[in-house]
Structure 1
Amino acid sequence: MPTPTNTALLLIGFQNDYFAKDGILHSVIEESSRVSGVLQNTLGLLEDASQVFDLIVSTPILFTDGYNELDDPVGILRTIKDVGAFKAGQFGSQTIPEFKAYEDIITEIPGKRGLNAFSNTHLEALLREKGIEHLVLAGTVTSICIDSTGRHAADLGFKVTILSDCTSSRTIFEQDFYCENVFPLYGEVRSSSTILRG
């Protein structure tokens, strides 16, 4: 169970291309996000973050105009390239404006260009430096970046918690399936309200 000691909140994918109504990939997660109240629940968590977390980190995904970072991408990365999402310096890649009020407490780590927030970033080094032992995940997409990052964190020896009402997937079924059948294999699944209650 997370406590205010040695615990970090990791925010994944809270960018306009996913969460803005006119975001290029908004329709991919819109239903799951709306039903679970993902944004509202995450903002509530940030409001009381100092009671729960020693560190809050955001790992946005960013690409150059030509997607030169991607070598023959497949799956979701191919889709991102095909639709022109998450280009650095453009509206879609920007952090959602709702997080503006919390920018002083969020440490942004750039470099993520794939599914796993540890890949191509100094996320692990920062967590070790701060003495973090427990990682709590929020964001999107549940079946891709959240799962990939959570598994890697567990392999690195971190305790992992996924927030069921602060994560969203491509469908409600997929969200429920991962929370009920996949995440418990390597971590803990909890709601934001239980985190705040300790």
Structure 2
Amino acid sequence: MTTPTYNPARTGLLFVDPYNDFLSEGGKLWPRVKEVAEQVRLIDNLKAVLETVRARNIQVFIVPHHRWEPGDYQRWKHPNHTQISSGRIQFCAKGSWGGEWRPDFAPQEGDVIVKEHWAQSGFANTDLDQQLKQHDVEKVVLIGLIANTCIESTGRFAMELGYHVTLVTDATAAFSPEMMHAAHKLNGPTYAHAILTTAELIAALQTEPSAVD
């Protein structure tokens, strides 16, 4: 893969699931991703990507998971294991601290908050595709959690819809190094157009695009 250039007017950052339950000490999922997150310096890298993106006037799209409410999934025909588990622990419950944005990553004025996704893809049953098209976005950059579920599913769906997809290997995390390997080394190349580190992405974002980008 070659490193692409990014026209700020045609690029969108998809920040998936920046909730306390995912990214903060005391969050319900944080203990499961903490080891990998600390190995890749996830929080520092998320901050660096956001800072660069905002400086370049690239549109930020917050792509949030459904926040649990009482009664969720109880009468569903086919809830998956993750949905059942999230109901059991009231994961990212609406109105709870865990269901609030991590303060460093809270949406800012001008950010687009996409409708909440119920499973793994940020596109399924949401307005993400419509929002990207209305903002004239052609290239999407994915950061956030989790590498082998929501990031992968959203990125694969984006490719199917015709978007150029960039994964950022150290601006996401998973439950284990094996899952990170699967997400970036095995599955990523089957749909992503670029797989970069945070440093590589920032360098590319700071490169002036040509007229055709």
TM-score with structure 1 length normalisation?
0.92
Q: Is residue 96 of structure 2 the alignment partner of residue 96 of structure 1? A: no
Matching residue of 1:21: 25
**From 50, 56, 59, the counterpart of 1:55:** 59
Q: Distance in 2 between matches of 1:79 and 1:53?
A: 38
Q: Distance in 1 between matches of 2:95 and 2:164?
A: 34
CA offset digits 1:84-136 (Å, max 9, x no partner): 10111111111111124x62253212322211101221110010011100111
Matching residue of 1:46: 50
Deviation of the 1:15 alpha carbon: 0.6
Deviation of the 1:2 alpha carbon: 4.2
TM-score with structure 2 length normalisation?
0.86
Runs of at least 5 residues in structure 1 that lack an aligned partner in the other structure: none
Q: Distance in 2 between matches of 1:25 and 1:41?
A: 19
Q: Is residue 94 of structure 2 the alignment partner of residue 79 of structure 1? A: no
**From 179, 183, 202, the counterpart of 1:174:** 179
Supply the AA of the counterpart residue of 2:47.
L
Deviation of the 1:191 alpha carbon: 1.1
Q: Does structure 2 retain, via aligned residues, the 8 Å contact 1:164–1:191? A: yes
CA RMSD of aligned residues (A): 1.8
Say which SS state the counterpart of residue 139 (structure 1) adopts: strand
Cα 1:143/1:6, change in 2 over 3 Å = same
Q: Does structure 1 retain, via aligned residues, the 8 Å contact 2:73–2:84? A: no
Q: Distance in 2 between matches of 1:27 and 1:90?
A: 18
Give the aligned length: 197
Q: Does structure 2 retain, via aligned residues, the 8 Å contact 1:9–1:56? A: yes
Q: Distance in 1 between matches of 2:57 and 2:181?
A: 26
Say which SS state the counterpart of residue 92 (structure 1) adopts: coil
Deviation of the 1:20 alpha carbon: 1.5
**Identity over aligned residues, as a percent?**
22
Matching residue of 2:140: 135
**From 190, 193, 210, the counterpart of 1:185:** 190
Q: Distance in 2 between matches of 1:65 and 1:40?
A: 34
Q: Does structure 2 retain, via aligned residues, the 8 Å contact 1:17–1:92? A: yes
Say which SS state the counterpart of residue 136 (structure 1) adopts: strand
Deviation of the 1:175 alpha carbon: 0.6
Cα 1:83/1:107, change in 2 over 3 Å = same
Deviation of the 1:168 alpha carbon: 0.6
Supply the AA of the counterpart residue of 2:176.
T
* Structure (1 or 2) with the larger CA radius of gyration: 2
Q: Distance in 1 between matches of 2:64 and 2:23?
A: 13
